[in-house]
């Protein structure tokens, strides 16, 4: 029996700042959606200010991409020190360790 391949993508979203120097989270979410990946690993997923708020609206991540954020030890960002992992909702998350 052949299993479907697992599609993994890595994306440096640069705090949702485009080359036009405009912060546009909706644009980033559209890019993530077009990747059609089972797992998306994001770099620079938070703004690195104080409590590190997410550069993407957390309520829109699942709504627009169909992916869920792997839990982090805080409630402000989808990322952990700038890094975030998004998964398909049907993925079985067994354990999360923050280093």
Q: What value does the mean pLDDT of the chain take?
A: 89
**pTM of the predicted structure, to 2 decimals:** 0.87
Q: What is the DSSP string of 24-48?
A: -HHHHHHHHHHH--SEEEEES-B--
Q: Residue 98: is its pLDDT beyond 80? A: no
Q: In this structure, are strands 83-87 and 8-12 parallel, antiparallel, or unpaired?
A: unpaired
Q: Residue 10: is its pLDDT beyond 90? A: yes
Q: Tell me, what DSSP letter sits at residue 82?
A: T
Instruction: List C-alpha distances in Å: 12 to 6, 73, 81, 86, 92.
Output: 20, 21, 13, 13, 25
Provide the residue ranges of all domains of the chain, joining segments of one domain with +: 8-87
Mean pLDDT of all residues in 79-86? 87
Residue pair 56/31 in contact by the 8 Å Cβ criterion: no
Residue pair 13/43 in contact by the 8 Å Cβ criterion: yes
């Amino acid at each position: 029996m052949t299993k479907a391949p697992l599609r993994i993508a890595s994306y440096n979203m640069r705090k949702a700042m485009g080359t036009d120097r405009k912060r546009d989270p909706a644009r980033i979410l559209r890019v993530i959606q077009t990747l059609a990946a089972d797992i998306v690993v994001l770099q620079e997923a938070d703004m690195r200010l104080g409590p590190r708020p997410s550069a993407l609206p957390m309520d829109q991540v699942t709504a627009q991409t169909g992916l869920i954020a792997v839990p982090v030890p805080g409630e402000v960002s989808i990322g952990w020190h700038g890094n975030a992992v998004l998964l398909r909702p049907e993925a079985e998350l067994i354990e999360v360790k923050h280093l």
